[in-house]
Amino acid sequence: MNASFTHGDLEAIWLTVELAALVTILLLALGSPIAWWLARTPSRWKRPVAALVALPLILPPTVLGFYLLVAMGPHGPIGLLTQSVGLGLLPFTFGGLVVASVIYSLPFMIQPLQNAFESIGERPLEVAATLRAGPLDRFFSIAVPLARRGFIAGAILTFAHTVGEFGVVLMIGGNIPGQTRVASVLIYDHVEAFEYTQAHWLSALLVVFAFAALVGIGSLTIGGGKAAKP
Amino acid sequence: MIAGIRARFSISYAAFHLDVDLHLPGSGVTALFGSSGSGKTTCLRAIAGLERAPGGYLSVNGEVWQDDATSRFVPTHKRRLGYVFQEASLFSHLSVRGNLEYGLKRAAGETKGDRLEHTAEQLGIASLLDRSSERLSGGERQRVAIARALLARPRLLLLDEPLASLDLRRRREILPYLERLHDELDIPTIYVSHMPDEVARLADHLVLLDNGAVAASGPLQETLARLDLPSTFTDNAGVFIDAAFDGHDDADDLTRLSFSGGTIFVPRRAQAIGKRVRCRIEARDVSLTLHKQSGTSILNIIPAVVVDMAPTEHAAQVLVRLDAAGTPLLARVTRRSWHNLGLAPGSSVWAQVKTVVLIG
C-alpha cells in the first residue's frame, strides 16, 4: 500500500469539492429567500411548499434522478429551456450535476435556515422597522447576523450531503472522468474492478470528512443554545 | 398644518375589540392608562403601524400615516417614530454602540458628530458603549433602548411600559431619566402604563382605556377628577395637583407648598424655593366640613365649592367633586354625610386633607 491516490482519484476528489462548493454557494443564495418565506408566511401554501422542499429527504435518489433526466432531456421542460438559450442539454455534463445536486440538497440548506429564522422571532425585526430599516435592510442587518449559526450549519450540511450523493449522480451524470465522475462514484468503480486498496483510501477520506463535518455541526449546536434566544 | 395626534382605530380579535377615536395634544406626554387587556399596547402598535387596523385613520402633527379612506398606509419604517418595547429587545449581535448607531445611521437629516455621545450621557450609559448588549443589567438595557429610539430622531415617541419588566429599584433608577427627557425634549410622547405613580410623574394628558374603549381623555388633573369613570379607577380615585415649594417652617420641620387653591403643608423636604412639584391627594383622605374647624389635628384645610356628586360602587359612599379656586379635588364621603350636611352643587365647604403624597 504505497501510493495513496492515483491521478484519477485526485481528479475525482477535486471535482467533488468543486461540485459541493458550487452547490453550497448556489443554495445559500437560493435557499435563504425560500427559508425566509417559509419561516414567516401565514400563507396556506406554506405546508405544500415545505413538503415539496423536503421531498428529496425521503424520495429514492433514482426516482429523483429519473425525473430530472426526463426533464433535462431533449423534450423535457428544462431541456427545452437550456436548448433555447444555447446551453445545449444538461444530462451527462457538470452543469447537469450542479442542477440535480441543488435540488437534491435543497432541504439540507432550507431546514436549518428556516429554524434559525423562526427562532429570531418577530421582535428584533419590529424594533428594526421602528428604527427606519426597510424590509431588505432588516433581512441583511438583523435576520442574517442573528441566523448566522443556521447559515453555517446549512452550508456544512449541504456541502457534506453533496459530497456523499451517489444515486442522482449516476442517473444524471453517468461516470465521465474529469466531468461527472465524483468520489462516491469512483469508489463504486474501484470496488467493481476489485481495486480494494484504492477503494479503501477514498472511503477512509470520506469517513474522515463526514466525521469532521458532524463534529463541526455539533460544536455549533452546543454553543447554539445562545442563538436560539436573541 | 393640524397640530396634535388623531388616531381612530377599530380592531377585532376573537375575544377582544379595540375601538378608539383619540385626539391627543401634539406635544408633551400622554399616558395611555388601563389594566392589562384594556387595549393599550394594541393601540400603541397600531399607531406605530406594527398592527394593521383596517379602516383606521392616524395623523401626527399634520402628517397622515394611515387613512384607509384613501388607501394610505405608511409602513412602520417610513414613520418617524421611536418605539421602546416592554423588554428592551436590544440587537444581541451588536454592541451597545452598534445598537445606538443602528437608528442613528438610518435617521433622516444631518448628523452632528457627538449626538450619540450626548444622548448616551443623558441616559447615563456613556461608559457602556463598547460593552456587548448581552452583558447589561435590565435597567441598563432599557436605557440603551430609550437612547436608541431617541437617536432615530423621532417626531413621536412611543413607550410601551418601559419599566414593567424591571424591579422597583431599577424602576427608580430609570424614572428620573424619563422625567428629564420630558423636561428637555420637545417630542410628543405616548406612554403606556398601568402604574398610577408613573403616570402621575410623567404625564400631562391622560387617556383611560377600559376594555378596548376610551373611558376618559383629557388633561391629567381634570381627567382624574372626573366622576363618571369605571370602578377600576374610582377605587383609588384621587387627584394630582401641581404646586410649588413656597417655604419652610423650621420650628415644626414642615415645608409649605402653594397651589392655585391655597397652601398645604408637608413634612420638611430639602428643596429649593420655587421648584415645582406634583402631589397626589386621594379621595378617601379628604373629608368635608361646612365651617372651618379649629379643634382638629388636620393641618391642611382648603376652601372649595362642590361641583357635583356621583355614586360609587359602594352604595353607602359617594364621590364628591370639588373646585378649589381652579384646582379640582375629590372627596369620598358617606351618602348620609352628603344629606346631613345638605350638600348640593354650589355649596361652599372646607376640604380637610389628611394625607398629601409628593410624587418624585
Q: How many residues does chain B have?
A: 360
Select the residue of A123, A131, A142 nearest B103 (Cβ to Cβ). Answer: A131
Number of domains in chain A: 1
Q: Each residue of A194-209: pLDDT tens digit?
A: 999 999 999 999 999 9
pLDDT value at residue B225? 76
Select the residue of A130, A142, A146 nearest B83 (Cβ to Cβ). Answer: A130
C-alpha cell of residue A196 = 480494494
Q: Which residues of B touch A134 (CB under 8 A)?
A: 77
pLDDT value at residue A229? 38
Select the residue of A127, A133, A142 nearest B85 (Cβ to Cβ). Answer: A127
C-alpha cell of residue B247 = 417655604
Rounded-to-integer distance, Cα A122 and Cα B50, Å = 10
**Chain B residue whose CA is closest to A126:** B50
The answer, for A116 touching chain B at a CB cutoff of 8 Å, is: no
Indicate which CATH number applies to the domain containing A184. 1.10.3720.10
Tell me, yes or no, whether A103 lies in a domain: yes
Candidates B159, B154, B128; CA nearest to B141 is: B128
Does the pLDDT value for residue A224 go beyond 60? no
For residues A88-97, give the mean pLDDT. 91
Does the pLDDT value for residue A2 go beyond 50? no
pLDDT value at residue B166? 82
Q: At what angle are helices B138-151 and B115-122 packed, to 10 degrees? A: 140
Tell me, yes or no, whether A110 lies in a domain: yes
Candidates B224, B309, B311; CA nearest to B216 is: B224
Pick the CATH number of B5-226 from 2.115.10.20, 3.40.50.300, 3.40.50.970, 3.90.1530.10: 3.40.50.300
- Please provide the DSSP assignment of A164-200 as one string: H--HHHHHHTTT-TTTT--HHHHHHHHHHTT-HHHHH
The answer, for A174 touching chain B at a CB cutoff of 8 Å, is: no
Tell me, yes or no, whether A1 lies in a domain: no
**Chain A residue whose CA is closest to B88:** A127
Tell me, yes or no, whether A191 lies in a domain: yes
Rounded-to-integer distance, Cα A65 and Cα A218, Å = 31
pLDDT value at residue B227? 66
Please check whether residue A66 is in contact with residue A72, taking contact to mean a CB–CB distance below 8 angstroms. no
**Chain B residue whose CA is closest to A228:** B92
pLDDT value at residue B234? 59
C-alpha cell of residue B130 = 463598547
Q: Each residue of A137-158: pLDDT tens digit?
A: 999 999 999 999 999 999 999 9
A88: left (phi over 0), alpha (psi -120 to 50) or beta: left
Rounded-to-integer distance, Cα A13 and Cα A187, Å = 11
Tell me, yes or no, whether A188 lies in a domain: yes
Rounded-to-integer distance, Cα B54 and Cα B39, Å = 16
Lateral strand order in the sheet of B72-73: B72-73, B63-67, B57-60, B5-12, B17-24, B213-219, B205-210, B29-33, B189-193, B156-160, B81-84
Q: Each residue of B126-172: pLDDT tens digit?
A: 999 999 988 898 889 999 999 999 999 899 999 999 888 888 888 88
Would the ipTM clear 0.95, i.e. be above it?
no
pLDDT value at residue A230? 37
Q: Each residue of A48-84: pLDDT tens digit?
A: 999 999 999 999 999 999 999 999 999 999 999 999 9
Which range marks the domain in which residue A123 is found?
Answer: 7-228
Q: Provide the b/e sequence for B194-205 (b: ≥16 CB within 10 Å).
A: bebebbbbbbeb
The answer, for B75 touching chain A at a CB cutoff of 8 Å, is: yes
**Mutation choice for B interface testing from A123, A127, A151 by most B CBs within 10 A:** A127
One-letter amino acid of A54? A
* Strands B81-84 vs B156-160: parallel, antiparallel or unpaired: parallel
CB-based burial label for A74 (10 Å; 0-12, 13-18, 19+): exposed
Candidates B221, B198, B137, B120; CA nearest to B360 is: B198
- Chain-centre distance for alpha carbon B80: 22
Q: Which residues of B touch A138 (CB under 8 A)?
A: 77
By percentage, how much of chain A surpasses pLDDT 70?
94
Domains of chain B by residue range: 5-226, 278-359
Per DSSP, the three-state class of B56 is: coil
Mean pLDDT of chain A: 90
Q: What pLDDT tens digit does each residue of chain B (360 aa) get? A: 468 999 999 988 878 889 999 999 998 999 999 888 888 999 999 999 999 888 899 999 999 999 999 999 999 999 999 999 988 899 999 999 999 999 899 986 666 678 899 889 888 899 999 999 888 988 899 999 999 999 998 999 999 998 888 888 888 888 888 888 888 888 899 999 888 778 878 889 999 998 889 988 999 888 877 766 665 565 678 888 888 998 888 888 999 999 988 899 998 888 888 888 888 888 889 999 999 988 889 999 999 999 999 888 788 999 999 999 988 899 999 999 999 999 999 999 999 999 888 876
pTM: 0.79
Architecture of domain B278-359: Beta Barrel (2.40)
Please check whether residue B208 is in contact with residue B223, taking contact to mean a CB–CB distance below 8 angstroms. yes
The answer, for A130 touching chain B at a CB cutoff of 8 Å, is: yes
Candidates B229, B263, B232; CA nearest to B245 is: B263
Tell me, yes or no, whether A2 lies in a domain: no
Per DSSP, the three-state class of B159 is: strand
